[in-house]
Amino acid sequence: MFHYDRGLKITRIDLAVDFRRRQPLGFVSHAHTDHMAPHELALCTPATAALYQHRYGTRHVKLLPYGQRLEWCGAQLSTWPAGHIFGSAMLLVEDGDQSLLYTGDFKLSASSTATAAQPPRAKVLVMESTFGDPRYRLPPRGEVIAQLVALVERLLDAGRTPVIRAYTLGKSQEVTRILTDRSIGVLVHPLIAAVNRVYEAAGCELGTYEEYQGEARPGHVVIAPPRTQKGAALRGPSRKAEIAVTGWAAAPGAHYRLGVDYAVPLSDHADYDELIECVELVQPEVIYCTHGPESFVERLVALGHNAYPLATGRQMRLFS
């Protein structure tokens, strides 16, 4: 049903899934650059299409709204919410009595800017497993948000400007919505403001915020891309405290490694327990794991599952 060619391909219809190199036909699970390329024709959800074209310009796309089936050369394709970022989708491929679910990046817990994940059942599960280590059991989302808001308010009360470093697409919009929902003043870097406008045009409300013009304001948070991102330079503010928002913050000493003053474990990826829960929801006969530690495959096998890392020699022999 599928093969690996430096990426996952659905064999019968030659559909490249989340390829980073241009293909005649590609499925784009979400609009992060490590999951897409300027394909000749891209299949994706309407929100992802808007973000995809924001990054690549006008492209040929075929829209796959959540839950609608598309017949393509005898196979049935449908998308299901992934809960990762706005528009993110899992792909279900059904071909006769065979079925495959590709999760892409996903998260089962709630999000302020993404539709909650709804993984359907499938015989084959190809799953992202970034946090496939039991060290990455994240606190409940409500506790994490409370931690972020309390930290921001404490810094503002001390006369400092919280600068939240977050990915331009996805995490920045979620943090914006979290803070505006609590009536906290938000200024966003111009790169983030451009993505915000795409979100809002596609129907995702982010609340009241303003674009950062190089001057901090009392009582306001600044949301900016990671310093390593091209074009992410931030002029001022002088009395700032930098905060990273990432699931990697669950590990001790994360703020040192990330080069910030504080790190809050707000993630848009499934943590270890949610990865296990996803397997239980899908009830697959075989599992292939990608974008995570191979030790997670060993843990699934220990739990009684038929699991493999994607693109190993063993997998290639099984499906060649």
pLDDT digits (tens, 9 = 90+) for 9-65: 999 999 999 999 999 999 999 999 999 999 999 999 999 999 999 999 999 999 999
Q: What is the pLDDT of residues 207-219, one digit of tens each?
A: 999 999 988 899 9
Least confident of 94-98, 191-195, 307-311: 307-311
**How is the chain classified by DSSP, letter by letter?**
-EEESSSEEETTTTEEES-SS--SEEE-SSS-GGG----SEEEE-HHHHHHHHHHH-S--EEE--BT--EEETTEEEEEEE-SSSTT-EEEEEEETTEEEEE--S---S--SSSPPP-PPP-SEEEEE-TT-STT--PPPHHHHHHHHHHHHHHHHHTT-EEEEE--TTTHHHHHHHHHHTTT-EEEE-HHHHHHHHHHHHTT----S-EE--S---TTEEEEE--TTSTT------SSEEEEEE-GGGGSTTHHHHHTSSEEE---SS--HHHHHHHHHHH--SEEEEESS-HHHHHHHHHTT--EEETTSHHHHHHH-
The pLDDT assigned to 21 comes to 96
Whether residue 182 contacts residue 175, with contact meaning beta carbons closer than 8 Å, is answered with no
Residue 319 clears pLDDT 60, i.e. is over it: no
pTM: 0.94
Confidence of residue 180 (pLDDT cuts 50, 70, 90): very high
Q: What is the pLDDT of residues 239-270, one digit of tens each?
A: 899 999 999 999 989 999 999 999 999 999 99
Q: What is the mean pLDDT of residues 270-291?
A: 98
Q: How many CB atoms lie within 10 A of CB 154?
A: 12
Instruction: Please give the structure tokens belonging to residue 128.
Output: 């992202």
Residue 313 clears pLDDT 60, i.e. is over it: no
The pLDDT assigned to 6 comes to 87
The pLDDT assigned to 229 comes to 78
Confidence of residue 238 (pLDDT cuts 50, 70, 90): confident
Q: What is the pLDDT of residues 136-166, one digit of tens each?
A: 999 999 999 999 999 999 999 999 999 999 9
Confidence of residue 318 (pLDDT cuts 50, 70, 90): very low
Residue 320 clears pLDDT 80, i.e. is over it: no
The pLDDT assigned to 316 comes to 37
> Cα separations (Å) of 198 from 52, 232, 297?
10, 19, 37
66 phi and psi, to 5 degrees? Answer: -55, 135
Least confident of 83-87, 129-133, 228-232: 228-232
% of the chain residues with pLDDT over 90: 89
The pLDDT assigned to 230 comes to 73
Whether residue 39 contacts residue 31, with contact meaning beta carbons closer than 8 Å, is answered with no
Angstrom distance (rounded) from CA 270 to CA 283: 17
Q: Which of 155, 175, 150, 143 is nearest to 246 (CA)?
A: 175
Q: Which residue has the higher pLDDT, 234 or 66?
A: 66
Residue 232 clears pLDDT 60, i.e. is over it: yes
Instruction: Please give the structure tokens belonging to residue 126.
Output: 């190809």
Domains plus CATH for the chain? 2-135+269-319 (3.60.15.10), 141-264 (3.40.50.10890)
Q: What is the mean pLDDT of residues 60-84?
A: 97
Q: What is the mean pLDDT of residues 220-242?
A: 85
Whether residue 29 contacts residue 104, with contact meaning beta carbons closer than 8 Å, is answered with yes
User: Mean of the per-residue pLDDT values for the chain?
Assistant: 94
Confidence of residue 314 (pLDDT cuts 50, 70, 90): very low
Confidence of residue 315 (pLDDT cuts 50, 70, 90): very low
117 burial type by CB count under 10 A (0-12 exposed, 13-18 middle, 19+ buried): buried
List Cβ neighbours of 313 (8 Å cut-off, separation of 6 or more): none
